Structure 1
Amino acid sequence: MSITQQYLLDSYRSSQHGEAAPPAPGSHDWETAREVRDYRRFRAVMAGHPARGRLRGALARWLHGRPSR
């Protein structure tokens, strides 16, 4: 069963029971991605690492043998 079919089935069931319809598939994807990004930044700060530019800095050190700006 695809996501769309499951959504349509859930919508039908909720309408039969007089409940609110479920959110459409994909409607919260960007919000979830932002929360994951914020959580990773928070964990980096709590560990004493810079919150931004970690990957670029690591690649610059690996490629050039020096820290990035």
Structure 2
Amino acid sequence: MSAIEQYLIDTYRASQHGDPMPPPPGRDDLAVLHAAREYEQFRAVLDGRPGGHPWRAALRRLTARR
């Protein structure tokens, strides 16, 4: 069963029982990724490592003039 099919079943069930509708699939995906990245940066600072974004640091190293 796909996520859309499960969402449709849950929506139907919620409407039959008078419960609030469930959020559509994928609505909070970007927020979860952002929170995970912030948590990893927080852990890096606590461990004494640089807390910046690792992709930015790698890009800076690659584009630095020598």
TM-score normalised by length of structure 2: 0.80
Unaligned runs of 5+ in 2: 62-66
Q: Percent identity over the alignment?
A: 43
- 47-56 vs 35-44, greater mean Cα deviation: 47-56
Give, in angstroms, the shift of residue 54 of structure 1: 3.9
After TM superposition, where is structure 1 displaced by more than 6 Å over at least 4 residues in a row?
none
What do you get for the CA RMSD once the two structures are aligned? 1.6
Higher relative contact order, chain-length normalized (CA < 8 Å, sep 6+): 2
Match of 1:47 in 2: 47
Give aligned pairs, total.
58
Q: TM-score, normalised by structure 1?
A: 0.77
Alignment gaps of 5+ in structure 1: 61-69
2:44–2:50 CA contact under 8 A, matched in 1: yes
